[in-house]
Amino acid sequence: MEEQPIRERKEREPEGVVRITEEIREKIKYLSKFFKSRFLVYLMSSQAVFFTGKMGEVHARSLDRFLNNGPKIVEVIDKSNEGENVQLAGWKDVIGVRRGVDGRIKSIDLLGGIITLESANNSDPEERLLELAILAKKLTLEHNDINKIRNFFNRENATFTINRNNVRNLRGGYSWYQNNFNVIRDYTSHLITDFLGEAFNMRNVGDISSMDYRTRERGYARSNPEINQQTVPPKGTIEFPDYIVDNVSINLIPGYESGGSGTTLSIPRERFGTQGQRYEALRYVQAVITLDIYNSRTNERISIIAYGIPVPYSYNSSGSYSIFTRYFGIAISNHQNNYSQFAGPLAIANAIDNLKSIFCFSGKKELGYYEHFDPNSVPVTMVSFNKDNRPDSQT
């Protein structure tokens, strides 16, 4: 019997591999110049961790080992061996937003890399946080095409809807986040509604699922001869929204910093989940919010991404940040005393703040009022059933 030729298998690309394009390399080089001296490991994925601070050889090796033995999602593009402080001075990565063939964001595999952070030399934690805040905003503005966003919302008196059923978290791994996810989801949806409404004067036409239901209901009514057709609104009565906000994902990735000579990078992933088990405390959390917006008229789509770092209340001026932090009962004094406890909400609030800056930056006007609303009314962003959230009781 003649031997069948073995069909050559097409080698599949490993899941989650991030392609480093020339454009990204250039971006990395540019950013690397901005940050000097010590390192900040700025790394995110489903399994990777976020680690910051001075990184010596031990840390660098651990990171390297982690990356090589862990999820194969990182491509090392520059690995220098010129001494401990520059061992991993090159960037590891950068953008890991995976998209499907239709361009939709499917998951976030990896973001960031190793950034040398000037203020890591400085022992002042506030200064470090400020630099982190700048970094989060900078990344947010760089990873979004502001011109494209501005041109995308070019309709006058446009309408939109948020598909709230699709607001979700990709990965949690942090109990506060899981327990409060419904609130976070509602809050994020409300804020996106506010930003779009105010920056582009768009009108929210309600929930898409109820719109679908009404459309179907009327369809049945039209085809039912027993129903008086005069009572059924004609086709197209309900205006289908011009824009649909979909696939909103809110991700919170916890990171821990070791108190001793070891590094969290070398401990098993599952140990990260519980605060203060073996290592000092939750040190940094990073939040990433992504969303897609479709133009239903032209079938075009844009994706928006915003980063957040747990920075102090006072670094963020917008109401969105204030609402969130006050809602969860976070005050500056509390924050300073117990950073670990509030890092999660602060990171999400910061991401929301940066999300706002995208819309404001690309908007036609400053955030003000919805023109289509009654000037005697304003939308409520959040509701609290707990009077302890009163601002006076915070400080």
Partner 1 sequence: MQYFVFTTKNIFNKGDKVAIICYDFDADGNIKEEIVEEFILNDYEYYEDENLLVINSPHNYNEEEFVKKYKKKELLIKKIEEDKN
Residues near partner 1 (CB under 8 A) are 164, 186, 190-191, 193-194, 204-207, 210-211, 214, 217-218, 233, 237-239, 317-323, 326-327, 366-369, 373-387, 389-392
Question: Minimum Å distance from CB 141 to partner 1?
Answer: 21
Q: Rounded to an integer, what distance in angstroms lies between the CA atom of residue 309 and that of residue 119?
A: 15
Q: Looking at this protein, which amino acid is placed at residue 12?
A: R
Question: Minimum Å distance from CB 393 to partner 1?
Answer: 11
Let me know how long the chain is: 395
Instruction: Name the residue nearer to partner 1 (CB basis): 227 or 238.
Output: 238
Instruction: Name the residue nearer to partner 1 (CB basis): 273 or 379.
Output: 379
Which helix (H) or strand (E) is 326 found in, with range?
helix 319-327
Instruction: Name the residue nearer to partner 1 (CB basis): 251 or 316.
Output: 316
Question: Minimum Å distance from CB 181 to partner 1?
Answer: 14
Instruction: Name the residue nearer to partner 1 (CB basis): 45 or 201.
Output: 201
Q: Tokens 């939709």 identify what position?
A: 104
Question: Minimum Å distance from CB 147 to partner 1?
Answer: 25
245 three-class SS: strand
Instruction: Name the residue nearer to partner 1 (CB basis): 228 or 377.
Output: 377
Question: Minimum Å distance from CB 363 to partner 1?
Answer: 13
Burial (CB < 10 A; 0-12, 13-18, 19+), residue 161, is: buried
Question: Minimum Å distance from CB 202 to partner 1?
Answer: 14
Q: Rounded to an integer, what distance in angstroms lies between the CA atom of residue 140 and that of residue 129?
A: 16
Instruction: Name the residue nearer to partner 1 (CB basis): 25 or 222.
Output: 222
Is the CB of residue 348 less than 8 Å from the CB of residue 248? no
Between strands 203-204 and 159-162, the pairing is: parallel
Q: Rounded to an integer, what distance in angstroms lies between the CA atom of residue 354 and that of residue 96?
A: 19
Task: Enter the tokens of residue 391.
Answer: 């601002």
